[in-house]
Amino acid sequence: MTDPAPARRLFIKTYGCQMNVYDSERMADLLRPLGYAMAEGPEDADLVVLNTCHIREKATEKVYSELGYIKQMKLDRQARGKSMTIAVAGCVAQAEGKEIMHRQPAVDLVIGPQAYHQLPELIARTHRAKGERLAADFAAEAKFDRLGPERKADGVTAFLTVQEGCDKFCTFCVVPYTRGAEFSRPAEAILAEARDLAAQGVREVTLLGQNVNAYGGEGGLAALVRQLAQVEGLDRIRYTTSHPADMDLALIAAHGEVEALMPYLHLPVQAGSDRVLKAMNRAHTAESYLRLVERIRKARPDMALAGDFIVGFPGERESDFEATLQLVVEIGYASAFSFKYSRRPGTPAAALPGQLAEEVKDERLARLNALLDDQQKAFNASQVGATLPVLFERAGRHPGQLSGRSPYLQAVHVAGPDHLIGQIVPVRIEGAAKMSLAGALALEFA
Ligand code: SAH
Ligand code: SF4
Ligand code: F3S
């Protein structure tokens, strides 16, 4: 007997941060029991979900142009007697639900990040053509409770959302409005999900949260990390993204003591000028950030740091920008993400005087990126000659090649047999580029 062909096909396109990646996986988990298998592309899909990002104007505009293409595919399918349901999820859905439906009537359903557990019901309703096209309330608790325990691992690494939402209200940022107030999942639910992932062969989890180190469960993130380190089969733990103000002593200590906790920390600073940091409502100064990094490096001397930076915040003077460059020099980043300030409707900074010209932002971004690129190259080059434990994640692009990650999250390419995928193996690093390392297996493997 052959299996019946899946009745329906699903295509999800994901924009934005890792939290959206996690949510997209969970939406697929939720729809699988309803007969939805993955489609190759949107043109083959009965249901297309765009999981969107609202963080910068460009990210948001991409959604509308993508919807234009998808609408055409829907019309093509309809001409062939088939149908397509179009759902917009994620942070644009939350922030601009009504506008989406107005600007693109081909959209059947708009669903905010806290309403994903309602997806099957909403799709059914849409199919009954009863309307209710907008679900954008805030109830993270219901979301996680009702997303269900079944999760299909995909590979040897996995994201695991432990915290969602943000109470920080940095003046440039939409996240507190699109993801709502901080909410932490109970440790038991997280541990159960981690055990389930480990049983499916996952060796590394990355704990996710908009402010993951503000995790509010008993004992904070440090306690959670220590419990996760006990999970059989789980050898590597990472977490992202952290706010400097929530980097407590217990978590710093864990970095020195918990072997599974990887020496890589994404700790955005955004700017190096206290005047700008204050206008951003960042709750830290350049000096307090430097001292914090000092303490972290005392606990874990080889800690690789990653940062986020915004250039061209309203009122940023040349001297403010130079303070950012100065801070970068003092820290020495292993990797970084830098952005031109993008004016987001409804955020306090959008109303500030002193909005800068695009050319000024371009010029500052180029200077900052040149410095950050040099630091990243230097960090990677510093590993040449070392032997690093690499978790192999997949076959490489070339035959006989494997791709994995170093403890410092660098991509590492090595010639080796497929059966090493899922194993942590010592690799001698022989070459370094900006984005990756090349090496050779340090031991003989049959
Ligand atoms: N919660 C995380 C990250 C949030 S969004 C944190 O607090 O660090 C990811 C990054 O996008 C931010 O760190 C910031 O550098 C950038 N970002 C957010 N809003 C922006 C805006 N309006 N313009 C440009 N970059 C922005
Ligand atoms: Fe946005 Fe600031 Fe919250 Fe990060 S801490 S999500 S930058 S408001
Ligand atoms: Fe974007 Fe929302 Fe993440 S705005 S960065 S998808 S939290």
What residues pair up with 339 in beta bridges, in sequence order?
Answer: 310
Which tokens belong to 20? 């959206």
Q: CATH number for the domain including 400?
A: 2.40.50.140
Burial class (CB in 10 A: 0-12, 13-18, 19+), 200: middle
**Ligand 3 atom at minimum distance from 92 CA:** 4
CATH (domain of 109): 3.40.50.12160
Distance CA(153)–CA(157), nearest Å, equals 8
Of 122, 141, 160, the domain-final residue: 141
Tokens representing 297?
């490096």
Same domain, yes or no, for 348 and 395?
no
Q: Which helix or strand (DSSP H or E) is residue 52 part of?
A: strand 47-52
Average confidence (pLDDT) per 10 residues, the chain, 446 residues: 65 96 94 92 95 95 95 95 95 94 94 92 77 58 68 92 96 96 95 95 97 96 98 97 97 98 98 98 97 98 98 98 98 98 96 97 98 98 97 93 98 95 97 95 76
Query: pLDDT tens-digit profile of 315-335?
Result: 999 999 999 999 999 999 999
Pairing of strands 157-161, 204-208: parallel
Residue-by-residue DSSP string for 376-423: HHHHHHTTTT-EEEEEEEEE-SSTTEEEEE-TT--EEEEE--GGGTT-
Instruction: Give the distance (Å) from ligand 2 centre to CA of residue 168.
Output: 6
Identify the three-state secondary structure at position 129.
coil
Same domain, 28 and 75: yes
Last residue of a domain, one of 381, 407, 433: 381
294: its two tokens = 């000092």
- In Å, the largest CA–CA distance within the chain is 73
Domain that holds residue 425: 387-441
How far away, in angstroms, is 135 Cα from ligand 2 center?
A: 24
Q: For 79-99, what is each residue's pLDDT tens digit?
A: 999 999 999 999 999 999 999
DSSP string, 182-233: -EE--HHHHHHHHHHHHHTT--EEEEE-TTGGG--STTHHHHHHHHHTTSTT
Rounded CA-CA distance 366/100 in Å is 34
Say yes or no: 22 and 162 in one domain: no
- 295 and 206 in a single domain? The answer is yes
Mark whether 178 and 248 lie in a shared domain: yes
Q: Please, are residues 309 and 336 in contact by the beta-carbon 8 Å criterion?
A: yes
Residues 6+ apart with CB under 8 A from 104: 64, 67, 68, 71
Asked whether residue 149 falls in the same domain as residue 290, the answer is: yes
Pocket test residue of 20, 173, 175, 182 for ligand 1, highest count of atoms within 8 A of CB: 173
Q: Verify that 393 and 425 share a domain, yes or no.
A: yes
In a domain, 446, yes or no: no
DSSP code, position 317: -
Are 128 and 177 members of one domain? Answer: no
**For ligand 3, atom 7, which residue shows the shortest CA distance?**
175
Instruction: Check pocket membership of 412 for ligand 1, CB cut-off 6 A.
Output: no
Structure tokens given for 401: 């090649």
Q: Count of residues for the chain?
A: 446
In a domain, residue 367? The reply is yes
CATH number for position 229: 3.80.30.20
In this structure, is residue 317 part of a structural domain? yes
Q: Tell me which of 141, 167, 193 is where a domain ends.
A: 141
Is 0.75 topped by the overall pTM?
yes
Is the CB of residue 158 less than 8 Å from the CB of residue 335?
no
Ligand closest to 212 (CA) is 1
What pLDDT does residue 252 have?
A: 98
Query: 3-class DSSP state for residue 299?
Result: helix
| Cross-strand bridge partners of residue 387 | 428
3-state secondary structure string across 18-50 = HHHHHHHHHHHHHHHHHCEEECCCHHHCCEEEE
For residue 103, is it within any domain? yes
Ligand nearest to the CA of 270: 1
Atom of ligand 3 minimally distant from the CA of 179: 7
Atom of ligand 3 nearest to the CA of 59: 1
Domain count, the chain: 3
**Which amino acid is residue 179, in one-letter code?**
R
Residues 34 and 121 in one domain: yes
User: Cβ(64)–Cβ(104) under 8 Å?
Assistant: yes
**What was the pLDDT predicted at 138?**
57
Beta bridge partners of 184: 163
What SS3 class is residue 171?
coil
CA 164, CA 141: separation in Å to the nearest integer? 10
CA of 93 to the centre of ligand 3 (A): 11
CA dihedral 371, 375, 376, 378 (to 10 degrees): 140
- Closest-lying ligand to the alpha carbon of 265? 1
